[in-house]
Structure 1
Amino acid sequence: MSPIKTRGLRIVTYNIHKGFSQFNRRMMVHELREQLRLLDADIVFLQEVQGEHSLHAERIDNWPELPQYDFLAADVWQATAYARNVAYDHGHHGNAILSRFPIGHSFNQDVTHLRFERRGLLHCRIDVPEWPTPVHCVCVHLSLFARSRRRQMDALATYLESAAVEDSPLIIAGDFNDWRNEADAWLAQRLGLVEIFGDAGAAGVPVRSFPAKRPVLRLDRIYVRGFSVKQAQVYCGNPWSRISDHAALSAQLAISAGKAA
């Protein structure tokens, strides 16, 4: 068995708050890059990624010249995909996926329900060397409103039922804004997914991830299909709470025996 099959995949999801600390007090994208690299992830799911902001570029001395997704990925993650969801006169932001492995396909599914709250779901098909089938990865940032979230989860499930072959390896990660824990009924059951902290023995209850200093709300998630969960961890408190208002989540995954054949 190859080394990649033996160790599986390490993944991380993080709402990076456009590279600023809570309440936008400090630009933290350089510290963010250092901390992300310490996690040694194969695939990173990022929300609220600043693709461009001309005013910040003019006013902040150490604002990166590259878009945030390229700045964070440089020299570590060879492939990136970015989906612009919210555009304004001075820039735009959205979701991004960083990968050590080739991204064979990417697509941004527009699931905007309320015109003042633009939302998209970034789907990538990632080719892991020596694995027989690609891994489908979806980075999500759902609505603040329950009715809109339900519509978005239904739209995602409908899309993936045709875009991802049944039982193919699938990872959905991001900021669900789902403090009512409705995603299991609206999304996970339809697609045969498990929530990583539930699969690790927490009775199906997602971990608290917001605010990062002392989390009380269960907003951020990682759902998987075709993998077993070897380890799951939440990164909150210092230094993470200085970087973003959300905690980061990580998981060590092993592909199911039938998928690795």
Structure 2
Amino acid sequence: MNLPAYNLRVATYNIHKGVQGIGLARRLEIHNLGHAIEQLDADIVCLQEVRKMNRQAEARFERWPELPQADFLAPEGYTAVYETNAITRHGEHGNALLTRWPVIRTGHQDISDHRFEQRGLLHVVIEVEGRPVHAIVVHLGLIKGSRVRQVARLREFIEREVPAGEAVVVAGDFNDWGARMRYAMNAMGLRDTSDLRGPRTLTYPSRLPVAQLDFVYGRQLEPVACSVPRGPIWARMSDHLPLVADFALA
């Protein structure tokens, strides 16, 4: 008997550490981001540039949340998983995943290509309708050569950690101008919604997007739809717009 497909919604969002603006014009957007993430209504939310703590920001903003940003942003009933990528003078930040489904296990791997950019893979296995789904949150480097090497390390990680017959989602900020990493991702059996007809899913910069730097790829999942929320409030919360992708989990 064929089981009905379950629609799995995955969102990825670089939140720019919850702060926008420069110098004295800096403003705190973390509270608006919390409301926005809830509106996405995603089963899995993959976040980049998430602060665990930052002493400078705590001193600068009166309404700085007491909780780490991942826990603060998690809608009611969601589990938050966070791993640090970078330790800085004033604190630390990394990738996070929020999900409404039970978390089976978590893992992390450093994929830093050089000492000036600290990067990592956050691996979270969740149970969806009784089946394991592997979600990997990425934030790739700014240099093309770094991205190529990091995708190669991603492939090694998937081959080692994800059984061939189990569903996997890879989402995040790929810093991938021109979607040049798509060929390498497709070679792993990972596909996004680029084959579907629809409006262009430009995510950067948020005020006047000209490129898609954020991607959601899936394996053992059928791409169904993809969208990018737009409007003044989305343009002010981060320098990226969120990307929302729907997949059918058969």
TM-score interval, normalised by the smaller of the two chains: over 0.9
Cα offset for 1:147?
0.3
8 Å CA contact 2:32, 2:237 repeated in 1 = yes
- Unaligned residue ranges in structure 1 (runs of 5+): 257-261
What is the Cα-based RMSD across aligned positions, in Å? 2.0
**Partner residue of 2:15?**
16
Give distance in 2, aligned partners of 1:161 and 1:110: 16
**Partner residue of 1:50?**
51
**Partner residue of 1:225?**
219
Give distance in 2, aligned partners of 1:112 and 1:135: 25
8 Å CA contact 2:14, 2:48 repeated in 1 = yes
**Partner residue of 1:112?**
112
**Partner residue of 2:134?**
136
Task: Confirm whether residue 201 of structure 1 aligns to residue 197 of structure 2.
Answer: yes
TM-score (norm: length of structure 1): 0.88
8 Å CA contact 1:22, 1:243 repeated in 2 = no
**Partner residue of 1:259?**
none
8 Å CA contact 1:137, 1:172 repeated in 2 = yes
Give distance in 1, aligned partners of 2:126 and 2:4: 15
Cα offset for 1:6?
5.0
Cα offset for 1:178?
0.7
Cα offset for 1:22?
4.8
**Partner residue of 1:60?**
61
State the one-letter code of the partner of 1:128. V
Cα offset for 1:229?
2.3
**Partner residue of 1:26?**
27
Cα offset for 1:54?
1.5
Give distance in 1, aligned partners of 2:82 and 2:214: 19
Change (3 A) 1:127 1:163: same
State the one-letter code of the partner of 1:249. L
TM-score (norm: length of structure 2): 0.92
**Partner residue of 2:182?**
184
Percent identity of paired positions between Structure 1 and Structure 2: 40
Change (3 A) 1:29 1:176: same
Runs of 4+ displaced beyond 6 Å: none
Cα offset for 1:104?
1.3
Query: After superposition, what is the alpha-carbon deviation per residue over 1:195-221, rounded to whole angstroms, capped at 9, x for unaligned?
Result: 12x13236xx97321001111122110
Could you say what secondary structure the match of 2:57 adopts?
helix
Which among 161, 166, 169 is matched to residue 167 of structure 2?
Answer: 169
Task: Confirm whether residue 215 of structure 1 aligns to residue 209 of structure 2.
Answer: yes
